Structure formats: C-alpha cells, structure tokens
Amino acid sequence: MKILLIGAGGVGEAIAKLAATRNFYEHIVVADYDFGRAESVVAWIRHRHGEATAAKFTAAKIDASVAAQIVEVAAAHNITHILNAVEPKFVNTIFSAAFTAGVHYIDMAMSLSEPNERDPFHLPGIKLGDAQYAVHDQWERAGKLALVGMGVEPGLSNVFTRYAADYLFDAIDEVSVKDGSNLVVTNDVGEEIFAPSFSIWTTIEECLNPPLIWQRDKGFITTQPFSEPEIFDFPEGIGAVECVNVEHEEVTMLPRTIQANRFTFKYGLGADFIAVLKTLNRLGLDGTRPTRVRSAQGPVDVAPRDVVAAVLPNPASIGPRMTGKTCAGVLVTGTGKDGQPRATYLYNVVDNQWSMEHFESQCVVWQTAFNPLCALELMAEGVWKGAGVLGPECFDAKPFLDLLSSQHGYDVKWHQQERMPASPLRMP
C-alpha cells in the first residue's frame, strides 16, 4: 500500500505522526500546497522515530484544487490509495482525481451541500455526499473503493452505530450523534479566547447550513440552525453541555444501511460560540463567494469566510494553549437484545494534555486522525474490502473497534455507557 496523504495541516500532520508508529503500508507521500509544512511533518518523524522510519515518508508540493496535478503526483509515486485531509471544498476535485488515477480513495468529510432554494428550513436541497454517491456505480465497475466519511464524525460515529445495530439492539428508535467538550483556549495572559479547535471554514459550513434530520415517516427534512436544544451529560468529567442540531454527514449516510426511526446530529457548541456564528452570518462573513476588496496593492477578490479563517489562530497551533477533553459519541435508543428498552451511549474521549504529550497534536485533530489509519490498515489486511462509494457503516464494526482498542493496535479506548431510556420505542 502506497498512500498519498493530501494535506499537512492539523489533521494531516496528526495522521502522519500516528502512521509513523504503524507498519501496514509501504510508503506515504505527505503533500501540501505549502511544501515547507509537508517537510516539517517528515522532519518531526525523523526527529522522533529516526531515519529508518522517516525513509518511509516523502514530502511533496500539491495544489488540491488541480485534479491533473493530483493524478500526476499519484502516478509519479505509484500510489494505491489517496487519503484526503484538506477542507471539504476540495472533496470533489480530489475524489474525481482519485478515480482518474485508478486508485482507492478515503476522506473524512464529504462533498458539500446546497440548501433548497424554495424552502431551505423544511426541505433538503443537495445533501452532503450526494455528488459522491451519485457515481457509486462507476467506482463499483472500476473495482475501486471510495471509503467516504472516515474521520471521527462522520467515521467513528458510523462504526459505533453499526456496532450497536449488530450487537446491542434488536430494533433502533433513534440514532443521535452527540459531540461535546469542555475545551478552553487562552491567550498569553491566560484569558479565554475564541479559537475553534477545528477548521472554522468547516465549522461555519456545518453549523449555519440548515440542519438535516431523517425520520422514517417523513424522510429527509431540515430545520433552523441550532434547533432542538437539549442538555446532554457528557462522560469523564466533561459534564452537562447544551447540544443543538447541525448539518452533518451521518444523517445522510446512516439511513442507507442502518434501520432506525430517526437520525440526528447534535453539537455541544455553547451559547458564546453560537453567538459568534450568528454574528458572522448577519455580517455576511460566512460567505464563500469572492467579494471585491480594496487594498494597498489595488482591488482583490476574497471570500469573507477565508478572511475569518486567516485571522483566527490555526487549529493545529492552539494545542499548547488548550485544556480539557473532547468527546465524540452516539446515543442509540430502542429495544435491546433482551427485548427491553435500552439507551446506550458509545463514545471516545481524548484529553488534550495527553495528545500533546504523546504526539504534539491537539486532541480534536488527533481524535480525527486515528480513524482513517485504522480503516486503511483493515483494508491492507483485506478485512474491510469492497468496491463503490461506501461509508464505514457498510463494514463489520467489530474488527475496527478491536484494532482500535488493542495494545498491539492503536490503544485507543472506546466505551459504551448505559443511559436511562427516555421513552418506549416509537414504532413507524
């Protein structure tokens, strides 16, 4: 297996650092638009693990917006798998380039959505991942696998859901992905600041778009951003966090394979974070279309969202100033194998202090990074195999969770916590 890792930002860097501890691949090309950033990742591996390990990595420069360049780099290095670790706005280009190059593909976020022009807060438009699922047959005929949505959310959340469906429940009422944290980022004098732990570009996209919900009796519907607030008690000391609906891939992915009455995604954003996002929206600073701006060098065209991303701290750099834990998990409710009502929260928690000490990566990007690597290892071993455009919920979850938690694997612990069922199973 020869992997082209596109993107050496926070998540890409964490992927490469973790990959340096594994041996299932032959070589990894770490590619980024900023060649120096790709070089620094390889240098870190050399410093931490020695020359023999670093020899399995090569830095390269790549423009993720140019499909021909991706195909060229893949051919030059005899790549077998492309791992996409850049902004979702580049998904379509990299995804199509992988198909042209005749290689397998894996990403952590799917092709972008477009709201319904007539009634965006009740009816879906183009959904997340629609552009990729539309060419499933082409990938299947080519005998290549595009494993989509294989990060933490989507990704590990999909694996948890498949595990619950196969091993814990006879019938599922609702699958509700719930993500929350108690992370705090401070400035040089110890004051808390607004500094998202993940790409602000992606955060704006998923939080301000109409949230998507799937219900058995209605199919896909949308709501207002930040709808249906609820207090959820997150484990391992994180505590009670208000969670709201946001747009996310799981809701488009899971109903294709998993039988349930309802699918939602709720994010623990907090009142201050929501207020900032609403302000950006009111000012038009969440826009992605270039706007003409005057500068000392003359007029330039710039997307407002790109300006917001440029002035905020780089998520990859805030680890030393961040404290707390992040939790990714899925609350599944329904009827258990014993015929009784059941509510189980399956989750993974990462402490930022731990991830910084071991990998010099902040906890949110590190929590994302181990999932595509674990999946690639199962693919290399032939445990996960297939063709077409498929999500992680299409594969047996147990081998993934076993490899993830094993001391000989990734030594990443996951847990299932029983909750009090809120109500009997709703029948369709």
CATH number, domain of 57, equals 3.40.50.720
425 in any annotated domain: no
Q: For residues 248, 249, 254 and 257, what is the CA-based torsion angle, rounded to 10 degrees?
A: 170
313 in any annotated domain: yes
Structure tokens at 25: 């691949």
C-alpha span between 316 and 11 (Å, rounded):
8
- Helix runs in 290-411, H state only: 304-311, 352-359, 363-380, 397-405
Per-residue pLDDT, 243: 95
C-alpha span between 112 and 205 (Å, rounded):
9
Burial class, 340, CB count within 10 angstroms (exposed 0-12 / middle 13-18 / buried 19+): exposed
Per-residue pLDDT, 422: 67
Residues facing residue 330 across a β-bridge: 177, 346
- Of 107, 136, 170, which residue constitutes the final position of a domain? 107
190 in any annotated domain: yes
Q: How far is CA 229 from CA 39, 263, 270, in A?
A: 44, 16, 10
Half-sphere exposure of 413 toward its Cβ, with a 13 Å CA cutoff? 6
- Of 87, 107, 127, which residue constitutes the final position of a domain? 107
| Domain coverage including residue 328 | 156-364+413-419
Q: Which H/E stretch holds residue 325?
A: strand 325-336
137 in any annotated domain: no
Residue 84 sits in the same domain as residue 182: no
Residue 86 sits in the same domain as residue 220: no
Q: How far is CA 347 from CA 88, 183, 259, 326, 401, in A?
A: 24, 17, 20, 10, 11
Number of folded domains that form the chain = 2
Nearest to 148 by CA among 137, 163, 158, 160: 158
Residue 181 sits in the same domain as residue 317: yes
Nearest to 187 by CA among 86, 359, 322, 95: 322
Residue 332 sits in the same domain as residue 191: yes
Per-residue pLDDT, 427: 37
Residue 208 sits in the same domain as residue 97: no
Residues facing residue 302 across a β-bridge: 291
140 in any annotated domain: no
C-alpha span between 320 and 356 (Å, rounded):
7
318 in any annotated domain: yes
- Of 48, 82, 107, which residue constitutes the final position of a domain? 107
Residues facing residue 334 across a β-bridge: 172, 342
Residue 358 sits in the same domain as residue 258: yes
Residue 188 sits in the same domain as residue 63: no
Q: What is the pLDDT along the chain (428 residues), one digit of tens a residue?
A: 999 999 999 999 999 999 999 999 999 999 999 999 999 999 999 999 999 999 999 999 999 999 999 999 999 999 999 999 999 999 999 999 999 999 999 999 999 999 999 999 999 999 999 999 999 999 999 999 999 999 999 999 999 999 999 999 999 999 999 999 999 988 888 888 887 777 787 888 888 899 999 999 999 999 999 999 999 999 999 999 999 999 999 999 999 999 999 999 999 987 888 888 889 888 888 888 888 888 777 888 888 888 888 888 777 788 888 999 999 999 999 999 999 999 999 999 999 999 999 988 999 999 999 999 999 999 999 999 999 999 999 999 999 999 999 999 999 999 999 999 864 444 33
Residue 161 sits in the same domain as residue 97: no
315 in any annotated domain: yes
Q: CATH code at 285?
A: 3.30.360.10
214 in any annotated domain: yes
